[in-house]
Amino acid sequence: MAPRALPPRRQFAVTRLVVVGLGLLAPAVCFGQALDGPRAWLPFEEGPNDVAGAYVHRFGDISPSGTLVKPGTSYETDLVVASYARSFPMSSLFFGLAGISAPVGITNATGTVFGEQQASKSSGLGDLELSFAAGMQPQRDLAAGPWSPAFTLLAQLAVTAPTGAYESDQLANLGDNRFGIRTSMPFTLSFGAVGKQTTFELVPAMTIFTDNNHPLEGETMSQSALGRLETHATQDVFDWLWIAADAVYLLGGETWIDGLGQGNQLNTFSLGGTVVLQPLRFLRFEGSYAHHFFHATDGGQGGALRLRATAEF
């Protein structure tokens, strides 16, 4: 029998977007703007709108945006991130998803600048992120039973704008003073009905950056492309509770000051876990923690905690 499409209410329901300025864990499992988190790309039944609020605490030598590593610098960052996403039909088989996220918070940084120790603080708005994704609705052969596999494949484009607080004479900055453009292809393989669902997810991504023409050091700072491979394995425990194991590998992103490489390329592997409570079909609460367990270069150390609430309607 040919695969059957999901019921109409499921076909164009919102997916779970976490763009922390969201994005969960920035590129290196840091809960920054580049990580969407487990079950981020599964359709839902409760309507095309998704509104989320998150608290993120991040520490280590990676900037608040999660895209710049500065070995020898220590960041402590606290963010509150508001995000909104809406899904819409594109055809009988395809759907689209548009989202926006805005982080607000404070970061403290200590490190060496021009041979002297500096401690600084930045607060206010972070860099906004706009995203768009398009892909196929999951198809499943219902006659083969509830454990027949279904897959979802999407293509995503996200742009981070330089709206965040930025001062060129200090280490601590919530904003990066440049644009970031990320492409990704989220893939999800799922088994089972709600309450007994298992998923395996893979999200390869690449981010490129424009130049920062007012860096802390030099006249111009450019950055090499940053690659990321994100994966999750999730399992329902009860109808109202599911858990996930999360992993991210990050490679690239070396910065260049006036054409001189800084030797701070990331080569980092991070592990984390997520617990999700869903007392109502339209409401869920998530807690995640991740830590950098392996870094082949000097940079890419630290970890992050995220708490998030999401409503769908």
Q: Is 9 helix (H, G, I), strand (E, B) or coil?
A: helix
**Measured torsion, CA atoms of residues 96, 102, 108, 109, in degrees rounded to the nearest 10:** 40
Q: What is the pLDDT of residue 143?
A: 59
For residues 13 and 11, give the distance between their C-alpha atoms in angstroms, rounded to a whole number: 6
- The model's confidence at residue 137, banded by pLDDT at 50, 70 and 90, is confident
Would you say residue 295 has pLDDT above 60?
Answer: yes
Q: Which residues contact 23 (CB under 8 A, 6 or more apart)?
A: 31, 32, 33, 34, 35, 36, 37, 81, 101, 129
Query: 248 is written with which tokens?
Result: 């991210």
Q: Which of 9-23, 198-212, 255-269 has the lowest mean pLDDT?
A: 9-23
Q: What is the pLDDT of residue 47?
A: 77
Q: Comparing C-alpha atoms, which of 75, 69, 113 is closest to residue 254?
A: 69
- Conformation bin of residue 54: beta by default, left when phi > 0, alpha when psi is -120 to 50: beta
Which residue type sits at 288?
Answer: S
pLDDT tens digits, one per residue of 48-77: 899 999 999 999 988 888 888 888 899 999
Q: How many other β-carbons are positioned within 10 Å of the β-carbon of residue 5?
A: 15
Q: What is the pLDDT of residue 142?
A: 57
Q: What is the pLDDT of residue 195?
A: 79
Q: What does the DSSP 8-state code read for residue 23?
A: -
Average pLDDT across the chain, whole number: 84
Domain that holds residue 184: 4-312
User: Does residue 142 contact residue 163 with C-beta atoms inside 8 Å?
Assistant: no
Q: Is 273 helix (H, G, I), strand (E, B) or coil?
A: strand
Q: How many other β-carbons are positioned within 10 Å of the β-carbon of residue 3?
A: 13
Instruction: Count up the domains in the chain and report the number.
Output: 1
- The model's confidence at residue 139, banded by pLDDT at 50, 70 and 90, is low
pLDDT tens digits, one per residue of 3-47: 333 333 333 333 333 333 333 333 333 334 334 688 887 765 667
* Residue 136 β-bridge partners: 94
- Of the two residues 62 and 212, the one the predictor is more confident about is 212
Read off the CATH number of the domain in which 49 is found. Answer: 2.40.160.40
Across the range 125-145, mean pLDDT stands at 81
- In which element (H, E) is residue 233 found? strand 226-238
Q: What is the pLDDT of residue 164?
A: 96
Across the range 85-103, mean pLDDT stands at 89
Measured in degrees and rounded to the nearest 5, phi and psi for residue 272 equal -160, 180
